[in-house]
Amino acid sequence: MRLLTDTVRRIHALPPNGATFSPFQRVTDYLATAQRYGVPLPSDLGGFLQTMGAVQADQQSDPSAWQRFCHNDLVCVNYLFIEPKQRIVVLDWEFAGMGDLYYDLATVVYTHDSEGPIPPELEEEMLSCYFGEVTALHRRRLLGMKFMLMFFTAAWGLAQQGMQQAGLVPAMEGFDYLEFAQYLYAHDISELQAQFNRVAKTRSS
Query: What is the reported pLDDT for 114?
Result: 64
HSE at residue 61, side-chain half, CA atoms within 13 A, is 11
Rounded (5°) CA angle 55-59-63: 150
96's CB contacts (< 8 A; 6+ apart) are 17, 19, 21, 69, 70, 71, 72, 73
Which 3-state string (H, E, C) describes 44-89?
CHHHHHHHHHHHHHHHHCCCCCCEEEECCCCCHHHEEEEHHHCEEE
Query: What is the reported pLDDT for 113?
Result: 66
Query: What is the reported pLDDT for 201?
Result: 84
Q: Where are the domains of the chain?
A: 2-200
Query: What is the reported pLDDT for 40?
Result: 96
Query: What is the reported pLDDT for 202?
Result: 83
Q: Which of 84, 34, 81 is nearest to 185 (CA)?
A: 34
Q: Which of 140, 154, 142, 157 is nearest to 188 (CA)?
A: 154
Show pLDDT as tens, one digit a residue, over the chain (205 residues).
Answer: 899 999 999 999 999 999 999 999 999 999 999 999 999 999 999 999 999 999 999 999 999 999 999 999 999 899 999 999 889 999 999 999 999 999 999 999 987 766 778 999 999 999 999 999 999 999 999 999 999 999 999 999 999 999 999 999 998 899 999 999 999 999 999 999 999 999 988 876 5
**Which CATH number describes the domain made up of 2-200?**
3.90.1200.10
Query: What is the reported pLDDT for 110?
Result: 86
How much is the pTM? 0.95
Query: What is the reported pLDDT for 205?
Result: 58
